[in-house]
Every structure is written in structure tokens, then in C-alpha cells.
Amino acid sequence: MSGSTHAEPTKYTEPTDRLVGRSVRRREDPRLLTGRGRFVDDIQLSGMLHAQFVRSTVAHGTIASIDLSAVREVPGVIAVFTAADLGLADISPRLDRPLSEFVPTDMPILAHDRVRFVGEPVAIVIATDAYAAEDGLEAAKVAYATLPPITSDTRALAPGAQLVHDEAPNNTLVDVAMFATEGIDAIFDTAACVVRVRTRTGRQNALPLETRGAVAEWDAKEEQLVLHTCTQTPHQVRTVAAQCLHLDERAVRVIVPDMGGGFGQKCVVGREEIAVAAAALRLNRPVKWIEDRKDALTASFLAREQTYDVRAAFDSDGRILGLDADVVCDMGAYSCYPFTAGIEPLMASAEMPSVYRVPAYRVRGRAVTTNKAPTAPYRGVSRPQYVMVVERLFERAARELGLDAVEIRRRNVITEFPYTGVNNITYDPGSYLESLDLCEQVVKDEGWYTAKEAAAAEGRNLGIGYACFSERTGYGSSAFAARKMEVVPGFDLSEARMDTTGAVTITTGTQSHGQSHETTMAQIAADVLGVDLAKVRIHQGDTDRIAYGWGTFASRSIVVGGSAVRLAARRLGEKVLALGAHLLGVGEADAELHGGGVRVRADHDRALAFARIAETAYLKAHLLPKDMEPGLTATASFDVFNDGTFSNATHGVVVELHRGTGRVEILRYICVEDCGVAVNPQVVEGQCRGGIAQGIAGALFEQVSYDDNGEPSATSFMDYKVPTAHEIPDVAIHHLETPCLFNETGAKGAGEGGTIGAPAAVLNAVNDALAPTGVELDNTPVTPETVQRALEQLS
């Protein structure tokens, strides 16, 4: 269900003591901080073997021969398998679009005739320990007939370019012109001001602290493959594993233990865990694979590399008249499951107008395939890129028109809600103008404009930058269906169950990988039922225990999953109330939930604890009302059948550029955010700060580059520059609250906003500091070398 207005039956009112909105301590922390967490690599099973992958050493070529005879002679090696040995079906993500818009391609579990990026798995080595498996890799001999590698989007689209996939003309997997307002050319021809931004963003790695991994075993009693893996989407892994292994889905159980981050990289289905499962089935022994950091940097799913060429038209008062955009996303060698290569260009095309009233819009979005590791969603999914482009356009227009950079935004942000944009998306109420005004005021009150002037007098370069944006969250089935996905995510399910002691177990189809679901979901359920938080247990990440779920991505967990939890808890509460009232001899309207039990409204001394009521439900069924079934369980689902709910924020950044080194130092970072009802404000702030750190990383530090042969440059942290605590500033967070009106929690998503706004705010601040040089930077990451060259213009 969706569109709830929170109307409640007259017989049932929720307890008034509220946990939602309080910074309850994370229930996960004692276990994780004292070393009692259980991650994939902690799993030890009797007779367990270890796997590693023979990976391609060339970016593009056909496999001429595979000689694994020496591998089998390596001490400790038990087996080695190729694609021909395992006979697995390919992973086949699909969009329901014509070939002119989407070209389907398949990703084999192990490459069998052709390799398409350095690091692509060609064979799997199974040994008694991880070291022997590594030794086995050294003995493998694979010969390739190399083909010209495609290492950039410009090479991919060049006339006559080598094709990465023979079925994909022009190396284009997605080509969609989603919007084209009639008369847009005339708008640009007659506009008082037209500005243009061309930008390229670096390829990144999501870098979860825990790399990917899997342990697979066959459960003979249940006749079931059990796959322990660190995924954000366990049910989707189950579906694909069953398809690739030619098993009934019932015969596959996916279990997710504690997980050390995902950030989107783990919300797609990888090929390695399927190969590990196949090996376990073939050998009838448990098999473990843990990705090492080199493979994580070079062969895992990457993200972000995009090129934008965007124009904006403004009138003489600084009001935007139109956007005209061409978006090209380098998606690497394969589409990812289930989102396909369309995930980035379709996101950018659909949502680029962002928080602004854009009356005319034209966009073309393309996904090109190259000989690089494939792309998966990464925190923000195109929004850090298109927000950066749009915010640069406003900065440039402000300069051309002689307007203040904040004022031009103020004249264009959406202020009346609901607002249906030129992109056919309806935006629910938000605080776009309020967040912008408050952020600017905080920067002024802290004296940063004065500090900037004083620094200039001393010959120092300080800059102030802003980014105003929204984050679409809680995508439901209709939003994903609009992308024409063949597999349509959206809904979530929950079950609430009370046992004979009055303790409550809640299942959720979401999957925490650092978002504190054990705490926040319990807060939601405990509020509804009026029980102590310690009495509520959250279960997730087990496809046999949770009926179905779409996992955690796109800031959906509290918006969608939390709504399902609240509905299920409410239905359980209604059943408990009905039974408690019956046992107390009063009508349901005369009783209420309170303090872990049911009491009579008019006589609080007449009460029954949940344990007493639950004991009756299970152990004394003869005392139940005739129309009531034994047990205390309830289920619920929740979906969103509109355009979702939009969080929003404004970020303000102060930087100093250091002459001589070109170093960008962030002096101050201010975030004014509105994610609706914050179930746990401390958790929200953690999400904001973590997201901002990753956004700063993309703006200033991280980039995966390739040489002309398609060899990745970053194979360790010596080459891939990750910011440390020294480079990430303290972040001042100010909360606004505009509740979502159509879900059960009032919450909007908070998982990605920090990452979305940071690159634009940092880049704008850098350009403000560079203003005296006349140099403008539009590409990220902004390197010290680039900054230093610009500063030398002042010499």
C-alpha cells in the first residue's frame, strides 16, 4: 500500500511515548566494536576449500588457449574450472526497450571466448587454503589474441571503432532522448544569457571497508545451496544464482552476515559468488572466496565516469528558461544486474532539473561500453555529476548577469508544492529555499565572507561555494517501471511476531550494511507497540526467513522498508490489543497499549502484560475469541505508486588554495539538510558525514585511470588516492523537517545526499577562490597540479 494519510482505526491508538526522533544508541555497536561481529571471512566450516580467480591480463581479446595442467600440480590445489567445465548460464540484465534505445548484452560467469577488461575472471582455482589457491593462479597459462582496447567514451564513439560487443553498434548500450520540449531551440536563440558547461568526472571505486566475498555450501538435509555473501540485495542474488546454476529458487538460500559497507557496489549481482557456488556444488564441499584489495580496485564494479555537455538559457533577471543536455556514461564492459547500463544515463536524464523551476528541457542520455571493469551504482548514482553541472551553470550565469551566486538560485528554486516539473516528476513538499537561506546565513554569521576579504588582502586565496539540490528517495515500483526495467524493484515486506514471553521479532526485506537498521527499524516497531526497545529484534538478510525484499539502495530502507515494518507492527498491535481487551473483559475501544502491555483506559490498574497475552495466544488457545486464530503474527507490504519523496539540502563550503603546492584545504563545511522525520538524528548525521566524505573524495582525490592498453593505473592505495581524516573537515549539520506525507514513517531518505552535494559545493568554492586568475575548473577530481597551474596565473 501507499498514499497513507495515517488515518487510524478508532479502536486503536499508538502509545504516546516516542522513540522515533531520538538519538538512541546504536544496538549494533557493542557487538561490532568488541570484535563479536561475524563477517563473511569469519565463517569457518569443516572441510572448507578456498577459491581465487585466474583473471585476464589483457583488456580486450579472444581466448586462444587455456592451459591449466600445471595448476593441478600445485601442492594444495584441489580443482580448477573454466566456463566449459561449469556450464553456467550468463547473467542477463534487461530493459523493456527497443533495440534503438537499449542493446542487451550478457555477462558470463567465467569468460569463455572473449575477454573485455583486465581482471575479468577466466577460471576458478580451488585449493585447501588461500595461499595455495594464489600459487595456483601463478601456474595458469592463458593465451590471447588481442584486439584494440576501447579505453574512453570518445574512442568508443569514434567512427569505425573496435566493438566491445559485436551486437552493440557504435559501442552504445543505451541511447535515449527522454525529453525534448517543443520550441526549445527558439528559447536558446532568443535568451538574454546562454551558458555552457562541459565536464568530465573521474572513474571511482566505492571502496567498502569489507571487500566482496562468499562462502557456499550444500545442505544435504534441506537439499539446498547455502550462499553466505556480503550483498545489499540477497533475494536478487538468490534469483540469479538459481537461474545460472539451473536450480529451483527454493534450492538456494542466501544469508548475509554482518557487512562492512556496500555503497551500491554490492547492490548488483557479481559473477564471482555464482562461480564459488558452482564449485561448491561440483565438489560437494564448502568453498570460500575473499576478494583481495588489488582485485577490489581493478576487477570489481566501478562507478562515476561521465561526460556532460550542457547549456542553460536565462532571462535578464537570472531566471532559467531551459536546459539542453548531452550525457555520456562510460559503463565499462557489461551491464549490471538488475539495473543494466541504463542506471546512470536514465537517472541523469530523468532528474537533472533538480530543485529548480526549469520550463523547457531537452536531454539525450547514452551509456557506452568500454574495455574497463563494469559500472555499478555508487552512492548518489549520477546525481553528484548532474548536480555539479547544474550548479556550475548557475554560477556561470550569475557571473555573466552580474548577480550574486546565491541570489540567482533563490530566484529559481521550487517554492510551491506539489510541483510537477518539465521532466514529468512531481516533487513533494520540501524546504529548498529555506535550506538555501539558512546555509548562506550560517556562512555569514560565522564570518567567512569577512575572512575571505581579509585573506585576499594578505594574498591568500579563499573561496566560498554552495550547492542546492534534492535527493529522490523511496523509489517505488512505478518509478522503476518508468525506466522500463524488466526486473522491477520497489515494494518491501515485513512480518511482526510476538512470542510467548512478549518479545517481538520483526523481519525486513532491507539489508543494512552500516545504516543501523537493527536500531532504527526497532525504534519504529517499539513505538507502535509500546514495548521496550530491548524487546524488539530485527531480522534481515536471510532469504529463507524473509519472504521477499529488494534490499537496500537508493535511500529506500526507512522510506519503504520502515513503512512496511510500521504497518506490520501496527497490525500485530491491533491483534494484541483485541486479545488483551477480550481477556480484560472490555471492548477494544476501552483498552490501550501501554508500557509493554494492554490496560483499561478508565482503570489503569486493570492491565495485562504482553507476556500474559501472548501466553494465551499460543499456550491456551481455548481462551481465544472464536474469530481469532492462535498465535500473534502479522504481515504487511508497502510500495510507492507515485514519483517518490524528495529529501533536499544546501551545502556551503569554504576552501583555501595553497600557493606552491596547489593543495585545496577545506576550512569549513556546512550542511543544511531536510530528510523529513529523522528516526534517529545521530544516525542521519552519520550518513551525512560519511556521504560528504565520499563526495569530497570524488571532488579532490579519487580516480581510476587506464593507459592506452586498458591497464588500470590504480592497483593499490599507493596509486588510488583516498582521503584520510586529515583531509576531511568537521561538518556542521543543521536539520530542517518537512515530513513525507504519503508513507508510514514521515521519513525521506538520507543515505546519499552528502555525496550528491559535496562535489558541486567543493568545486564551486575552488572556482570562487580562483576567480582572480580567470581560470575555471569544471572537471573532477581537481588535482593540486591543476590548481597550482591556475594559481601561477597570478604570478
> What is the average pLDDT score of the chain?
96
Give the closest residue to 311 by CA, choosing from 303, 319, 302, 320. 320
Give the separation between CA 78 and CA 128, rounded to whole angstroms.
7
* Residue 11: per-residue pLDDT: 63
- What does DSSP assign to residue 125? E
* Residue 795: per-residue pLDDT: 66
**Range 687-707 average pLDDT:** 97
Q: Give backbone dihedrals phi and psi of 146, rounded to 5 degrees, phi first.
A: -70, 150
- What does DSSP assign to residue 605? E
Contact 582, 589 (CB under 8 A): no
% helix, strand, coil for the chain, step of 5: 30, 25, 45
CB atoms within 10 A of CB 316: 9
Give the separation between CA 205 and CA 715, rounded to whole angstroms.
11
pTM of structure: 0.96
How sure is the predictor about 113, in pLDDT bands with cuts at 50, 70 and 90?
very high
DSSP string, 169-194: GGGEEEEEEEEE-TTHHHHHHH-SEE
Is 458 buried (19+), middle (13-18) or exposed (0-12) by CB count in 10 A? exposed
Q: For residue 617, what are the contacts with CB-CB under 8 A and spacing of at least 6? A: 498, 500, 579, 624, 630, 631, 632
Its sign, for the CA torsion 283, 288, 294, 298, is: positive
How sure is the predictor about 755, in pLDDT bands with cuts at 50, 70 and 90?
very high
Give the separation between CA 340 and CA 174, rounded to whole angstroms.
9
Contact 581, 261 (CB under 8 A): no
Give the separation between CA 8 and CA 17, rounded to whole angstroms.
17
Give the closest residue to 373 by CA, choosing from 305, 306, 279. 305
Grid cell locating 598: 494492554
Contact 239, 301 (CB under 8 A): no
Grid cell locating 24: 538512541
Strands 172-180, 49-55: parallel, antiparallel or unpaired by DSSP?
Answer: unpaired
Q: What is the pLDDT of residues 432-489, one digit of tens each?
A: 999 999 999 999 999 999 999 999 999 999 999 999 999 999 999 999 999 999 999 9
Return the residue matching grid coordinates 572441510: 47
CB atoms within 10 A of CB 373: 27
Give the separation between CA 433 and CA 429, rounded to whole angstroms.
11
Return the residue matching grid coordinates 550483498: 231
- H-run or E-run covering 289: strand 287-290
**Range 641-648 average pLDDT:** 96
Grid cell locating 248: 529451483
Tell me the CB-side half-sphere exposure of residue 471, using CA atoms within 13 A. 34
How sure is the predictor about 17, in pLDDT bands with cuts at 50, 70 and 90?
confident
* Residue 2: per-residue pLDDT: 43
* Residue 50: per-residue pLDDT: 98
Contact 289, 41 (CB under 8 A): no
For residue 5, pLDDT beyond 70: no
* Residue 533: per-residue pLDDT: 96
Give percent above pLDDT 70 in the chain: 98
Q: Give backbone dihedrals phi and psi of 451, rounded to 5 degrees, phi first.
A: -60, -35
E strand spans, 276-412: 287-290, 306-314, 320-330, 361-368
Return the residue matching grid coordinates 594444495: 76
Contact 537, 506 (CB under 8 A): yes
- H-run or E-run covering 563: helix 562-584
**Range 580-593 average pLDDT:** 97
* Beta bridge mates, 657: 461, 664
* Residue 3: per-residue pLDDT: 42
Grid cell locating 539: 531480522
Give the separation between CA 328 and CA 305, rounded to whole angstroms.
9
Strand order in the sheet with 361-368: 172-180, 361-368, 320-330, 306-314, 193-201
